[in-house]
Structure 1
Amino acid sequence: MSAHAEPWAPAGALFDDTLAGLVGARARAWAARWFGAGKTIDIRVCDGARCAGPPSGATTWESLEPGLVLALDPRAHTPIACWMLGLDTGTRVLKEAEQKLFQDLACTTAQDFIRDVAGVFSLGPDTRERGAYRHGRDDIALNVSIGAASNVLNLYALRPRAIKARLDAIGPRSPRAAPKHRDDAIRRQPIRVGAMIGRGRMALSELCSLTVGDVIMLDRGHNDGMALTVDGQTKPDTICELRQDGSQLTLRLAQTEASTLS
């Protein structure tokens, strides 16, 4: 028997305020550095399957280590440059040389932005400019609005990177005292979901390492009965995924009741 862990997070974890807060903190520091105090930053997180891709003509950068792409809306060149120079962002007619200058200024600040936020996703600051980007359905998109200007910057993170950033925000667990008795050890386990196929048994050490989202494989037949236990009580209505892979049976805990994750 063996257990394999995969990057996983509860369904709504990537779309609560945590990930937006992590990126927002870096974004506010970035805005203060380039534009001075007083610029409001709003971060909207959405699933790649439900959001639009980068706008037409966007300039894009990517981290050297795969995982992060930033797109700058070309309509944001003028407001970004005006914020930097302390100019009025009202309607203005720009000469060709001014347009090029404003574009260069906006691109400089945008590239600095992706370098700043890369650390949230455990990536280094090195980036490179890339061509047109088409985001994936599994990407996590973070749309950055500055003041009244919406979606000035569009950040796209690979889902595993976003999950890691969200889990890292939880922080390390404090160590627990060693239990003196086996019953005491079982009562102290932080496990909220356990799985059993037929009469299979798991060693206590293997049970301790089990978390929601783990995949458990037992060398048993596909006709074995299946039952899930949550906090010691059988939950036959808990949804899971069961697959046959040759002689091995794979069980994935696909969905649990919300209370089991607390």
Structure 2
Amino acid sequence: MNSHAQIWAPAQALFDDTLAAIASSGARAWAQRWFGGERPVDVRRCEAGRAAGPPIGAAVWETKEPGVVLALDPRAHATLAGWMLGLETGGRTHRPADQQLFENLALAAAHDFAAEAARVFAVAPDLRKREGYRPDADDLGFVLSIGAATNLLQLYLTRACALRTRLHAIGPRVAPRSPRPRAEALLNQPIRLGVMIGRGRMALSELCSLGVGDVVLLDKGQDDVLALTLNGEVKDDPGCELRQDGSRLALRLAPQQMSI
């Protein structure tokens, strides 16, 4: 005799729209926090045989308590980040720095949705990254679309989690999430600071003839205010000055109103 108790549910209980509706409620709250506005959010259960697993290169999180797995399609990075920043990112070639920014923001948003999904399905929202994930035969798969952007995220539930949630469709109340996750993600992005000492112009022939010890004149004087650079882009306002801090160089912003 098998001593393991099994959760019982009516036939087809896992295959109606209840679980998708529960996931959609969390997805709408998540989308409002990150993207604002009234973007239509749709969560649908994968048809039989389509829950084959995340696409190649997807970032995957799972709850430490078995129950919920979330995968972010890498093709969704620019779309999600563009909505956060209010930019049109489709059909363009982006600089590596922009691609990294888009990836960082999309990962932050997807991680937050994984935690949201854990809460609505009554699983402890302790997450960890997962490599090489493939769903079990009994797992249920869902895809999340926002507006015309389809299959941005894939959500997987273990059968036990799906049954438990289906039998207790109204879960416990949870504390509200931070209303400013988008601002926090933006403010946590690393910025490279630098100083433009000066510029000069010369013919290509002069450049090719330069050798060790040659002197090139720049357009700045010794006491001139220098230009600040942010991620490699020169900002003339505010200016800055070089100072020495022990054995290292430091910069001091010139006393102008900063407008980046």
Separation in 1 of the partners of 2:86 and 2:12?
Answer: 40
Are residues 1:15 and 2:21 paired? no
Pairing 1:1-262 to 2, within 5 Å after superposition: 5-46=5-46, 49-169=49-169
Look up the SS of the partner of 2:62 in the other structure: strand
Matched-pair contact (CA < 8 Å) for 1:46–1:140: yes
Relative to 1, partners in 2 of residues 1:159 and 1:7: Cα closer, same or farther, differing over 3 Å? same
> Which one-letter code corresponds to 1:26 in the other structure?
G
Q: Spell out, residue by residue over 1:120-159, the C-alpha distance to the aligned partner (whole angstroms, 9 max, x if none).
A: 2221111111212111111011111111111100011100
Question: TM-score if structure 2 supplies the norm length?
Answer: 0.61
Separation in 2 of the partners of 1:158 and 1:65?
Answer: 11
Matched-pair contact (CA < 8 Å) for 1:48–1:137: no
> Which one-letter code corresponds to 2:68 in the other structure?
L
Separation in 1 of the partners of 2:129 and 2:48?
Answer: 21
Give the superposition deviation at 1:72. Answer: 0.3
Give the superposition deviation at 1:48. Answer: 6.6
Q: Spell out, residue by residue over 1:159-215, the C-alpha distance to the aligned partner (whole angstroms, 9 max, x if none).
A: 0100100100178xxxxxxxxxxxxxxxxxxxxxxxxxxxxxxxxxxxxxxxxxxxx
Relative to 1, partners in 2 of residues 1:111 and 1:48: Cα closer, same or farther, differing over 3 Å? farther
Q: Spell out, residue by residue over 1:13-33, the C-alpha distance to the aligned partner (whole angstroms, 9 max, x if none).
A: 112121111110010000000
Relative to 1, partners in 2 of residues 1:5 and 1:66: Cα closer, same or farther, differing over 3 Å? closer
> Which one-letter code corresponds to 1:122 in the other structure?
A
Separation in 2 of the partners of 1:5 and 1:132?
Answer: 30
Look up the SS of the partner of 2:7 in the other structure: coil
Look up the SS of the partner of 2:33 in the other structure: helix
Instruction: Report which stretch shifted further, 40-49 or 77-86.
Output: 40-49
Task: Percent identity, please.
Answer: 54
Separation in 1 of the partners of 2:142 and 2:159?
Answer: 12
Question: TM-score if structure 1 supplies the norm length?
Answer: 0.61
Relative to 1, partners in 2 of residues 1:48 and 1:157: Cα closer, same or farther, differing over 3 Å? farther
Matched-pair contact (CA < 8 Å) for 2:68–2:117: no
Q: Of the two, which has the highest radius of gyration?
A: 2
> Which one-letter code corresponds to 2:37 in the other structure?
A
Higher relative contact order (CA 8 A, sep 6+): 1
Q: Spell out, residue by residue over 1:91-130, the C-alpha distance to the aligned partner (whole angstroms, 9 max, x if none).
A: 1111111111100100000000010110222211111112
The count of corresponding residues between Structure 1 and Structure 2 is 169
> Which one-letter code corresponds to 1:136 in the other structure?
D
Separation in 2 of the partners of 1:157 and 1:122?
Answer: 12
Matched-pair contact (CA < 8 Å) for 2:68–2:157: yes
Give the superposition deviation at 1:5. Answer: 4.9
Matched-pair contact (CA < 8 Å) for 1:145–1:153: yes
> Which one-letter code corresponds to 2:79 in the other structure?
P
Separation in 2 of the partners of 1:27 and 1:158?
Answer: 19
Relative to 1, partners in 2 of residues 1:75 and 1:164: Cα closer, same or farther, differing over 3 Å? same
Match of 2:175 in 1: none
Structure 2 unaligned spans of 5+: 172-260
Separation in 2 of the partners of 1:45 and 1:20?
Answer: 6
Match of 1:180 in 2: none
Separation in 2 of the partners of 1:135 and 1:51?
Answer: 7
Matched-pair contact (CA < 8 Å) for 1:49–1:136: no
Matched-pair contact (CA < 8 Å) for 2:78–2:90: no
Look up the SS of the partner of 1:145 in the other structure: strand
Look up the SS of the partner of 1:128 in the other structure: strand
